[in-house]
Structure 1
Amino acid sequence: MAVSPVDENLVLFGAPNNGLLRSEDGGRTWHTISSVPASIEIQTATGKGNPGIILWFERAANAEYTGRIWAMSPGHGMYVSSDGGHTFSLLTQPDQLQPKILKRGVFAPNGAFYAVDMEGRAVWKFVDGGWIDLTERVGSPARRYAAVAANPRNSQVFVFDEGGATYRSSDGGLKWTRLLHSSRVGRGDPPWLRVSNQSFFAIGGVQFDPVVPNRLLGGTGTGVYYADVPESALGLVWTSQARGIEELVANDVIHPPGQAPLFAAWDFGVHVKPNLGIFSETYGPKERVVIAAQQLDWSPSSPSFIVTNASDTRMFCCSEDGDSVLAGYSLDGGRNWSKFMSLPQPPGTLRDDPWRMSFGTIAVSANDIDNIVWAPSFNRSPFFTKDRGSSWERVVLAGEKLPFTGSHAEIFFHRKTLAADRVEPSVFYLYHSGEGTNPSLIGLWRSRDGGANWQQVFKGEISPQSRFSAKLRVVPSQAGHLFFTSGVAMAEDTWLRRSTDGGLSWSVVPGVDRVDDIGFGQPTVGATYPAIFFSGRFSGTYGIWRSTNNAKTWTRIGQFPVGTLDQVVVVEGAKDVSGRVYLGYKGSGWVYGEPDDCNPAPYLFPDEAECVRAQ
C-alpha cells in the first residue's frame, strides 16, 4: 500500500491476487487498475502464494515528488504511471535487462532507484532510462537481500540480506564494503532482547531516520532497532527501540492459584510475570533465540508444577546443541525448567529427527504431576508418560490407521484439544478431527487411567470446521464439565458447546457463537461456579464477555480492549484474583482486565489502559 505524499486521499493497494486498486477518497471506495497485471505465483512448489504489487511515489534529485508512480508486479516487471495512477505502462521494453520481482526499493537523493530482489539474490539500480544489475560487483555477492536504504544526506546506499549482513556503497554501486553488525538492548527495553545479538539478525524493512542524520531505522525479527552510521562507520550496532510498541505473538496464558501468571509466546518462550507492570527479565525454558512455547498446563494437585511443549520453529537448522525441543516441566511456577529425560519416536518419524516429537497440545493430570499426555503436531501419534517424561507409551485409539493417528496438523494452528479433568484423577480428554486416513476417529476420546486406555465417548464433530483452531476447555473444580469451540468465524454453525457429563453429550450455550476461546476465573463472592470469560459474540454482538452464574446471563466487559483490533487466540481467568481476565492476541501480545472504580470513557491512543462500563 502507498499513500501519495501530496494528497492524503490518493491511495494505491497492490493485492496478492486481485491486482492493483486505486482510491481517491482515502480508502472508502476502490477501483481496479487494469493496466497493471496481477502478480504471478513465483514459487508454486512452496505454496507461498502470490506476492503483492509493490508501489513507490517517484522522487526527483531534489527529493520532490515528480508525479509519477511506480508499481512492481511480480512476474511481469516494473510499471509506471504519469497520470496519478489512472493508467500504467512498462517502465522499460520487455526485451531489456530488468528485474521481474523485487523485495524493496528506494529513491536515492540523485533520483536513482535502488532495489533488492530476495528470490533472485540480486541488487538493482535504475538510472538514465535503464536497469543495471549490481550483483557480483566488487564486494557485492549474490545473497537473499531483504532491504535497501539510501542516505538522504550523502551518496551512500546500504543493502541488507535477510540475516542482517550489510553492504555499503558510496559510488553508485560500483564497489561495496561489508559492515559487521551487532545488537544491544536499548534503554528501558525488555532485558531479554539481549538474545538478538546473533550473527543472524533477521531484517525486514530499513530506512533512514528523516530527523536524526545518518541514523538507520530497521524492522527486525525482534522489534524496531536503530543504528547510527556516520560516513566513516566500519560497522553497525543495532540498538533496540521497542518500549511502548513491544509485541509478542501470544500462544497461551495460565494463572494457577497461588502462582504468578505465565505467558507463552512464539519465538521467545515462557514469561513469568509476578509484576504485570514491568518487563520480564528473562524467559524459559531457556534463553534460546527462537523457542516457541505452544501450550502450558498446570496440575491442581501442585499448582506450581507447569508443563510445556516448547520447540524451536527453525526446523531447517540449529539442532546441534540438542535443545531444538525444550519440552519439559517446572517445579517452581515457571522460574526454572527441566527437559523431559526422553522423547518418544512417533510412527512415521526418524529416530534421529530432533523434531520427531514437538509442538502440539499437552496436559498434566489433576492428581499426579508425573502423568502427562502430549499430542504433537503434524498429526503424529499422542504419547503419555507416568514418570514425568523418563519414558513414554503411545496412545492407542480403537480403529486407528498408522502411522499418523494424531489430530494436530500444523504448528501454527491455535489448537488446544487435549485436556486433563481438573477434579477427577487420571482423566484426560482428547478431541480428534479425523484427519488423513482416520475419519473414524472423529469425536471426543476419554481416558480414565492416565492415557493407557481410551474410549470414544462422543462420535462425530462437536461443532463444524473443528480441525483448525478448536479449543477444548475444562472447568476448574467441576468434574466432567467441558466447553468446546471450533474457533472459527465462518462456519455455518459456530455456537459454543458445553458438556456436564464428561463429554458424553453436548448442548449449545444459548446466544453464544463465533467464540475464539473460553477461560475460567475465581468465582465471585457467594458463587460456587467459576467465572466464565469468552471472546466472541453474544446475541450477535462481539465483545469480551463474562458470566458469574454458570452461563445463565452474560455481561460485556470490553469490545476491543485498549484499542486493539487483533484477533484473540487465548482467554484465561486468574484463579485467585477476583474478576481478572487475560487475553492473548494473534500478533500483538496480551492484555488483562479487572474490576475497577474508574470512569468509563472512549479509548484514546496511546493510553495504556481503558475504562469500560460493564453492561
Structure 2
Amino acid sequence: MTDRDPGAAVSRRTFALLGAGAVTAGLVGCTETPDEPTDRRTSTPVGGYRPVAIGGGGWVTGFAQSGAITYARTDVGGAYALGPQGVWRQLLTVAAVGDDVDPADYRVDAIACAATDARRVALLVAPSDSGTLGNLLLSKNGGVRWTRSRSRWPVAETTDGAGGDRIAFDPQDDSRLVVATGDRQLYASDDFGGTWSTLPVPSAGTGTYSAVLATSAGEGTPFPVLWLAVVGSGLWRSADRGGSWTKVHPLKHPMDRISDLQPSDGGLLLCVESMAGTGGLFRADLDGGGATSIGPSAVSARSIAVDPTDPDHGFLVPSYVDPSQVLYASSDLTAARPMWTSRRWSIGGGGSSTWPERVTLETLSSGQVRYVDDRLLYAEGMGVWDIDATGGAALLTLASSGIEELVGNSVLKPADGPLLTASFDRGVLAVTPPTGSRPTVTPLRRGFGSAWDLSVSPTDPTFVAAVLDDHQDPTGRTVHERRASGYSTDGGRTWTRFPALQKSPPADLLFGNIAISADDNDNLVWLPSNLSGTASAVYWTADRGTTWVRAHLLGLTEDDLLHPTFTLARKALVADPRHRGQFTIFGSTREGTPVLWRSTDRGASWSKVATRGLETVRNARYGVRVLAIGSGLLAVTGTSDGGVLRGTPAGDWTSDVSVRGGVALAAGPRQANGPADAVYLYAGAPDDAGLHVSIDGAKTWRRCAGPVLDLAAPVRSIAADPRASGRVYLATGGSGYAVIDVALRFMR
C-alpha cells in the first residue's frame, strides 16, 4: 500500500454555491434585527423556506441497511434515512454539513453503512455532470453531522446514475472501509477516514468500477475478502487486500456491468445488466470458485433482494420493466437451480391516494430492491415503492414520503389558479393549495415527459401556456405524443394540446421558451432550443397553436445564439406587457455578448436592437433569464460574476453589480391583490447567495433570506404569487419546489 491523496491526480473544479440553507417557517423580514438568528455565511435572518409538499419522489437508485436503520440515495436529490413513521428524512442539509457546503454534494453516487454500527455511514457524492471530482462524506451518528474528506475524489459516472455501490465497510470492523473511485483506484482506511492508502488493483482493462464489496474471511484473519466489479471485465476477488486478484466471473460484452452484489447462504449473488442479451443472475463461490447462472433466462438483472429471515426467499428486478414485462420471485434461492415465478406488476391496487400512483408508468426504471424488516422496498425512477408479492402479482404502493427530488425548470402561480411546476420527467403539475401539508397534485398528462417553460398572459391571468417535450427524445420523432405543449384557459386546471402538434409540426419546434401576447391569447411565440447560428429559429401563431409559422430573423449570423441548449434554465423570451403583438428575445453571440431581438408584428419578423452599455458583458450565453417590468427589461445571466442588467425601451442598459450571481427574477405585489411593484432576485454567488427584493424598480436590493432548503438545491426559477403579498415560489435543481413569505411591510 502507498499513501496517496485521492484528488491529487485531477485538478480541482470550483462550483458556485447555488442553493443551500435552513428550513424554517413564518414570515421573513428584509432588515436585520439583533435578536434574530443569522446565517453566518450570509449575515441575514435564516430561511423561512418551506418545501412544497408535492410528493414528487425522484429516481431513488439504491439503499444501505443494517439493523434498524435504512438509508436511500438518489440520482440528484441527496440521501435520506427512513424514519419511524415511514417518512424519509433528508441527510444533506446545512445543519448536517455545516458551512463547508458544496453543490457537488447533491448527486449521491454511493452509500454504505457499517454492519456493526449502522450509524456509521459514508457517502460518495459528485456534481451532476460526469467526469468531475466529488467528495466523500462520513458520519458517526446516522447523518446528523457529516465530515468531509480533505481532498476531492474522482467519482465514476454510470450511464444512468444507478450503478452498484462503490463503498464497502469491513463486516467485522466499522472503522475499516474501502472506496472505489472513478480513476480505477481503490482507497482503504483503517480509522474511518482519518488516513487513506491505495490498494493494488487487478489488471482489468479500462472499465469503470461499478461495485465493491467486503465479506468476512473468517475468524483470525486480519482483513476481509474484497470483491470488485469492473464494467466489461467481470468480478474480481482478493483475499490479501489487493496483493493478488482472481477473476471469478468474466463478462461477455464490453458494455456489460455488474450492478448488485449480495452475500447469501451458499455464495455471493451478482446481478449482470446487459444490452446484448448476456445479463442475468449468477452465484459465485465465496472461496473464489467460478460463478454459475441461477436466474431467469434472458433477463438483464438489476438487483436481487434476499430475505434475511429466510434465505430461500429472493426477489429479482430487471433493469427496465415495461407493462408487458414482469418481476421475479423465488422460494428456493439456495438450491443449485432455483425456480422462479413471474409477478405481473400493478400500481396502487385501485385505492391509490398519491398522484404518482395514478399516473401511467410506461416503464419501471429499477434501482435496488431490499428486504427491510417485514417489507420489500424497491428503489425506482418514481421513488421508493413497497412491493406486496404475497399473492400471484406484485402490487406496488408508493413509500416515498419526504423525498422531494424533482428537478424544476420553471414555476408559475397564476392568479386564482393552482401552483404550476415544470420539471424533468414529471412534466407540468398543478398543486392546490401549494402551501398545504397534503395538497392535491394533478399531472397535465399521465405519462412520462419533461416540461421546460411556463408562461401566463400579461393581461389575462387565466391564460397559460407550457412547453413539454421529452429530453430522452431530442428529435421529437420517437414518441410523438410526448410533444405535449399546449395552453390552459382556466389558470392551469385543464389543458389543451396545441392542435399543430397532433398533425405534422415543424421538426425543430421543440423545447425552449414560450410567450403570450398582451391582449391577444391567440398570438403566441415559441423560441425552440438546441439550435444555434443560422439554424436558430422562432415560431409564431395567430390561431392559438393550430398552425406555427417560422419567423424571419433579419441579420441572423452563424455567431448568433438564441436558446442553444435545452437543459439550460434559460428564459430568453418575453412578451411586452403593455403593447399587443410585441416580443423580445435576449440572445447573445457565441462569445457571450448580449444581442437583443425585437418583434413588433406578432412575432412574424425580428430585428436586432441596441444594447448600449452591455458591450463589455461576456456571460450571456448560458442561464439568461429576462423579466419585463413596466416599460423596461431586467435580465440576469446565471453566472457567478454577473450582476443585474437593466434596460430601457430606447436600448440603454446598465449593469448593477451590487448583487452578483443572479439566476432568477420575478415580480409580485407589495399589497395583496395589488400591482406587481415588488421585484425579486435570487442570487447564487457565495457572498450574495439568497433571495433579494426591490421596491424601487430594481434600483436597490435588500436580502430577505439566505440560500434555499438543503444542499441539493441550485435554484433555477422563481415566481411571485400575484394574490399574496411577499409570497415567492422557487424551483430547484434537485430538491423539488419551495415557498417563502417575505414580510414586505418592514420595507420602506
- When normalised by structure 1's length, the TM-score is 0.79
1:487-545 per-residue CA deviation (whole Å, 9 max, x = no partner) reads: 244xxxx212312214834332223223332222223699984232313137x242333
1:454-507 per-residue CA deviation (whole Å, 9 max, x = no partner) reads: 121257988445444x2222134x11222121x244xxxx21231221483433
Q: Which residue of 1 aligns with 2:625?
A: 472
CA shift in 2, pair 1:156/1:26, >3 Å: same
Taking the aligned partners of 2:712 and 2:418, their CA distance within structure 1 comes to 27
State how 1:82-121 maps to structure 2 within 5 Å: 82=239, 87=242, 89-92=244-247, 101-119=257-275, 120-121=278-279
- Of residues 683, 701, 708, the one that matches 1:535 is 683
- Of residues 572, 577, 587, the one that matches 1:432 is 587
Secondary structure of 2:661's counterpart equals strand
Taking the aligned partners of 2:195 and 2:663, their CA distance within structure 1 comes to 31
Q: Which residue of 2 aligns with 1:521?
A: 668
Secondary structure of 1:534's counterpart equals strand
Unaligned stretches of 5+ in structure 1?
Answer: 42-50, 346-350, 598-612
State how 1:212-291 maps to structure 2 within 5 Å: 212=374, 215-230=375-390, 233-276=391-434, 277-287=436-446, 289-291=447-449
Residue 608 of structure 2 is aligned to residue 452 of structure 1: no
Residue 367 of structure 2 is aligned to residue 204 of structure 1: yes
* C-alpha displacement of 1:585: 1.2
Taking the aligned partners of 2:451 and 2:224, their CA distance within structure 1 comes to 49
Q: Which amino acid aligns with 2:509?
A: M
CA shift in 2, pair 1:483/1:352, >3 Å: closer
Taking the aligned partners of 1:239 and 1:483, their CA distance within structure 2 comes to 44
**Contact 2:429 2:443 (8 Å CA) reproduced:** yes
Higher-RCO chain (CA-CA 8 Å, sequence separation at least 6) = 2
CA shift in 2, pair 1:376/1:23, >3 Å: farther
Taking the aligned partners of 2:340 and 2:679, their CA distance within structure 1 comes to 63
**Contact 2:344 2:393 (8 Å CA) reproduced:** yes
Unaligned stretches of 5+ in structure 2?
Answer: 1-109, 111-166
* C-alpha displacement of 1:361: 1.4
* C-alpha displacement of 1:224: 0.4
Taking the aligned partners of 2:527 and 2:349, their CA distance within structure 1 comes to 37
More strand by share: 2
Secondary structure of 1:309's counterpart equals strand
**Contact 1:529 1:550 (8 Å CA) reproduced:** yes
- Of residues 384, 388, 411, the one that matches 2:566 is 411
Taking the aligned partners of 2:222 and 2:195, their CA distance within structure 1 comes to 24
CA shift in 2, pair 1:445/1:185, >3 Å: farther
Q: Which residue of 2 aligns with 1:386?
A: 542
CA shift in 2, pair 1:207/1:24, >3 Å: same
1:417-464 per-residue CA deviation (whole Å, 9 max, x = no partner) reads: 2222233332212233456xxx89972211122211212125798844
Taking the aligned partners of 1:528 and 1:297, their CA distance within structure 2 comes to 16
**Contact 2:431 2:442 (8 Å CA) reproduced:** no
Secondary structure of 2:270's counterpart equals strand
Secondary structure of 1:594's counterpart equals strand
- Of residues 343, 346, 352, the one that matches 1:179 is 343
**Contact 1:226 1:239 (8 Å CA) reproduced:** yes
Taking the aligned partners of 1:270 and 1:565, their CA distance within structure 2 comes to 21
**Contact 2:555 2:607 (8 Å CA) reproduced:** no
Taking the aligned partners of 1:203 and 1:581, their CA distance within structure 2 comes to 35
When structure 1 is superposed on structure 2, of 289-298 and 264-273 the one drifting more is 264-273
State how 1:157-172 maps to structure 2 within 5 Å: 157-164=314-321, 165-169=326-330, 170=332, 171-172=335-336
Taking the aligned partners of 1:551 and 1:592, their CA distance within structure 2 comes to 22
When structure 1 is superposed on structure 2, of 526-535 and 107-116 the one drifting more is 526-535
Aligned length: 559
Taking the aligned partners of 1:29 and 1:529, their CA distance within structure 2 comes to 56
- Of residues 220, 228, 237, the one that matches 1:71 is 228
Secondary structure of 1:302's counterpart equals coil
* C-alpha displacement of 1:344: 10
1:301-335 per-residue CA deviation (whole Å, 9 max, x = no partner) reads: 10110001112345399989962211110000001
Q: Which amino acid aligns with 1:472?
A: R
**Contact 2:419 2:433 (8 Å CA) reproduced:** no
Residue 508 of structure 2 is aligned to residue 508 of structure 1: no
* C-alpha displacement of 1:55: 1.8
Q: Which residue of 2 aligns with 1:559?
A: 706
**Contact 2:414 2:461 (8 Å CA) reproduced:** yes
**Contact 2:636 2:642 (8 Å CA) reproduced:** no
Secondary structure of 2:357's counterpart equals helix
**Contact 1:158 1:168 (8 Å CA) reproduced:** yes
1:540-589 per-residue CA deviation (whole Å, 9 max, x = no partner) reads: 24233333344454443333434343211112222231111111111221
CA shift in 2, pair 1:507/1:26, >3 Å: farther
CA shift in 2, pair 1:484/1:562, >3 Å: closer
CA shift in 2, pair 1:98/1:306, >3 Å: closer
CA shift in 2, pair 1:464/1:405, >3 Å: closer
Taking the aligned partners of 1:408 and 1:542, their CA distance within structure 2 comes to 26
1:342-392 per-residue CA deviation (whole Å, 9 max, x = no partner) reads: 1499xxxxx588x65222211112332111111223216220112211222
Residue 499 of structure 2 is aligned to residue 341 of structure 1: yes
**Contact 1:580 1:593 (8 Å CA) reproduced:** yes
CA shift in 2, pair 1:440/1:15, >3 Å: closer
Taking the aligned partners of 2:351 and 2:689, their CA distance within structure 1 comes to 39
Q: Which amino acid aligns with 1:132?
A: A
Question: Alpha carbon RMSD of aligned pairs, Å?
Answer: 4.0
Q: Which amino acid aligns with 2:312?
A: S
* C-alpha displacement of 1:52: 4.9
**Contact 2:357 2:397 (8 Å CA) reproduced:** no
Secondary structure of 2:643's counterpart equals strand
CA shift in 2, pair 1:321/1:458, >3 Å: same
Secondary structure of 2:442's counterpart equals coil
CA shift in 2, pair 1:440/1:30, >3 Å: closer
Taking the aligned partners of 1:306 and 1:81, their CA distance within structure 2 comes to 61
Q: Which amino acid aligns with 1:74?
A: V
When structure 1 is superposed on structure 2, of 117-126 and 380-389 the one drifting more is 117-126
When structure 1 is superposed on structure 2, of 368-377 and 416-425 the one drifting more is 416-425
- Of residues 507, 520, 523, the one that matches 1:371 is 523
Secondary structure of 2:569's counterpart equals coil
CA shift in 2, pair 1:6/1:585, >3 Å: farther
The percentage of aligned residue pairs carrying the same residue is 26
CA shift in 2, pair 1:331/1:584, >3 Å: same
Secondary structure of 2:468's counterpart equals coil
* C-alpha displacement of 1:221: 1.3
**Contact 1:293 1:308 (8 Å CA) reproduced:** yes
Secondary structure of 2:552's counterpart equals coil
CA shift in 2, pair 1:93/1:341, >3 Å: closer
State how 1:340-359 maps to structure 2 within 5 Å: 340-343=498-501, 356-359=508-511
Q: Which residue of 2 aligns with 1:606?
A: none
Taking the aligned partners of 1:60 and 1:357, their CA distance within structure 2 comes to 60
Q: Which residue of 1 aligns with 2:107?
A: none
CA shift in 2, pair 1:95/1:217, >3 Å: closer
Q: Which residue of 1 aligns with 2:512?
A: 360
Taking the aligned partners of 1:418 and 1:471, their CA distance within structure 2 comes to 10
When structure 1 is superposed on structure 2, of 522-531 and 269-278 the one drifting more is 522-531
Taking the aligned partners of 2:454 and 2:714, their CA distance within structure 1 comes to 20
- Of residues 460, 481, 489, the one that matches 2:633 is 481
**Contact 1:268 1:283 (8 Å CA) reproduced:** no
**Contact 2:233 2:251 (8 Å CA) reproduced:** no
Q: Which residue of 1 aligns with 2:121?
A: none
Taking the aligned partners of 1:339 and 1:70, their CA distance within structure 2 comes to 52
Taking the aligned partners of 2:469 and 2:670, their CA distance within structure 1 comes to 34
